[in-house]
Chain A
């Protein structure tokens, strides 16, 4: 296993880029699979050499794009602990939460007394990561099997679990104009009687990610 350090911001940027791209694909796919929006607005596209579904609706795309644009600086600094896609029913009670737990390897390698030099992710490493991300996407495609159907009229939102300092920063500095981030409500964060369904774990040299779903036991309100 290669030992990589994150002394240089560029490495963090590379990882953040990869993760944000992946999250964008994953969010679109979740919206498609869980039928949050009608399937007619989705289109087949290619990512990681496999077909994925992506929406055509410009406002939806812009919303997801802006959301992840704001999340990216957090991921760069390894401040984002979890990124959660919450699907809520008409009363804004969450019915499903797709939780992406993200962790990145520590800043300095513990094994060596001196910090090892920066190694930009190699081609083989990136193609390995691509393979792992492909597997996660495949798992999302078939998560229907383990989840119950959602009630009609659902909406979605994206939450980020991060540190308090980062929260204050986000409130202070608007990364995108007119796209403010606010602290989430308690009811959006916690679910009544959740059922935990693990979907996929992914471990690589540059990032570790775990995807699981918290599902409300009784979805029909």
Chain B
């Protein structure tokens, strides 16, 4: 198995890793011929899962991968280690990433070339220990199958949601997230003493499954269905909802919320080559996405 590439956009790579930092200690990196995937599973049954993919072309150049299993390599790594390594690579002249062995143990080696003030070339190597997963182990990690969503809606500005959610998180261990096809979203938490519902209006609905990017560029206006005011709601663990809200420092402008009643909440964040969040005109700039799956709370 062989993997070696030049990292051409270390800043984007770092920001992707930073956005998953708060979710878990470790994650799985799946390297393929055309995309880089990162999978974070906080709890197999009831926890939030994050599936990220980024086009290799947006991050790398001179990309070489070779393995016995369809040229795919699966590595488990510590998020903090990779994050620190990428941080030290920022602004470097040249960065190489390769899979190698140090002291008999597999590592992802980041070879960072910089120039000192005297013009001398400095090379810094950061090794991130990894565990290579077998294809069989990887088979067991599969993106959750979800039925078509009942409603797709753009989230309100993340700052407003975060401040309200921060207060609501002490009120209960489960939260009901609902939306309708009229641009309205509501979030509700309740306990013996207090019941709070917060309403957001004027949000944009999307009528098609956002995983099909063509559908987004050819967005139809909201058609007048008979029951557009009807709310679709998913009740999830407050803990998972808060984890999602806290999971990136840079608040992207556009996050899509998909509600599959009685099944899950799914949030999509698109990655453009310059930053996170795709505006309606920027889909063509789309080089990846972060997909958060939050299953409904099992009673």
A and B physically associate: no
Residues of chain A whose beta carbon lies under 8 Å from any beta carbon of chain B: none
Residues of chain B whose beta carbon lies under 8 Å from any beta carbon of chain A: none
